Structure 1
Amino acid sequence: MTVRDATCADIPELIRLREILADRMAQDGTYPVDAQWQEAYADDLRERLGSDDMAVRVVDAPEGGLAACGVGLIFERLPGPGLPDGRYGYIQGMTTDPGHRRRGHSRAIMVALMEWYREREVRRVDLHATSDGEPLYREFGFVEDGYPSLTWRDPS
């Protein structure tokens, strides 16, 4: 299996996989799925693929299309005691097509993303996990950090 960088040609498949993940996340909680996000997602991918602050890694499906994908992002906030340079990572959109699960695709993508973070000396990486993905992320050393994860969403 080969993990590679996504290209603009992969965007339709990246959207399809993100739709699968959105449906799965809705099963675990109250994750809202807004209409018409796909076009904005595609536009952002076209703009940011290959940038210094985003890595999109994919595994091709043997029959064509993508078997799995994952996105690594780097953000900056004010430096602090636990984050001296203010940079932190966020893993988003880790998804494996249901027909390709249990073959190591997500693990291989996680290895590639964590290597990307280490090369950039990012010392903290966050993610939100579905119940399906949580055991894999724990194997990579992800833990609760002791603070509640709280979210505010505009009710309008």
Structure 2
Amino acid sequence: MTTTTGRLRTATLRDHAELLALWTLLFDDAPPEPWRTHAAAWFARFVGSPGEARFPVIESGGAIVATAIGTLELGVPNPFCAKGRTVRLANVITLPGHRGRGYGTTLVRDVVDWARSIDADRVDLSATPEGHRLYAGLGFTVTSAPRMKFML
């Protein structure tokens, strides 16, 4: 992996269009609406709430080329999450032409550091097979609990 040449910073409300364009790349054949409208409103709500969400970005040449999201989830305290404070890591993406420069690692470390700063118990994520190596290399482990969902 080469050295990161981009600049790490926290996203601002002005970045919403670039972030929505990056998030769209995460979903093959996703319809443009209604999710983009909801995502834009959600981002506007949480971008100014550093205790609830973290939006690190890597900027190169004046454009955002990589991003990730960390959101605080409050749950019932339990033996594996004593305070009930979990950070959900999501939407980790680097534009194809900028991969291999350590941006994903930088972004994940930023969210983990943020999770520590807000006194979270752990960081959870759902990984694609392509992402497993990155996350395992940073200390994430596969759990025995299968992920399930119910669509409403």
Same fold at TM > 0.5: yes
Q: Residues 88-127 of structure 1 correspond to what in structure 2 (within 5 A)? A: 88-127=86-125
Q: Is the 8 A contact 2:11 2:55 kept in 1?
A: yes
Cα offset, 1:61, TM superposition: 2.5
Q: What is the TM-score with the length of structure 1 in the denominator?
A: 0.87
Residue 20 of structure 1: aligned partner: 25
**2:54 is the alignment partner of 1:55:** yes
In structure 1, which of residues 142, 145, 153 is the aligned counterpart of residue 143 of structure 2? Answer: 145
Q: Is the 8 A contact 2:73 2:86 kept in 1?
A: yes
Between the aligned partners of 1:2 and 1:60, the Cα distance in structure 2 is 5
Q: What is the TM-score with the length of structure 2 in the denominator?
A: 0.89
Could you tell me which amino acid in structure 1 is paired with residue 53 of structure 2?
A: M
In structure 2, which of residues 69, 73, 78 is the aligned counterpart of residue 75 of structure 1? Answer: 73
Cα offset, 1:94, TM superposition: 0.5
Residue 30 of structure 1: aligned partner: none
Q: How many residue pairs align between the two structures?
A: 145
Percent identity over the alignment is 29
Q: Name stretches of at least 5 consecutive residues in structure 1 with no aligned partner.
A: 27-32
Between the aligned partners of 2:14 and 2:118, the Cα distance in structure 1 is 26
Could you tell me which amino acid in structure 2 is paired with residue 128 of structure 1?
A: S
Between the aligned partners of 1:60 and 1:81, the Cα distance in structure 2 is 39
Between the aligned partners of 2:21 and 2:148, the Cα distance in structure 1 is 28
Cα offset, 1:121, TM superposition: 2.1
In structure 2, which of residues 8, 12, 29 is the aligned counterpart of residue 3 of structure 1? Answer: 8
Aligned partner of residue 81 in structure 1, secondary structure: coil
* Residues 34-56 of structure 1: CA deviation (Å, up to 9, x unaligned): 54211110111111102111000
Cα offset, 1:84, TM superposition: 1.6
In the TM superposition, structure 1's runs of 4+ consecutive aligned residues that sit over 3 Å from their partners are: none
Q: Is the 8 A contact 2:83 2:121 kept in 1?
A: no
Between the aligned partners of 1:128 and 1:148, the Cα distance in structure 2 is 10
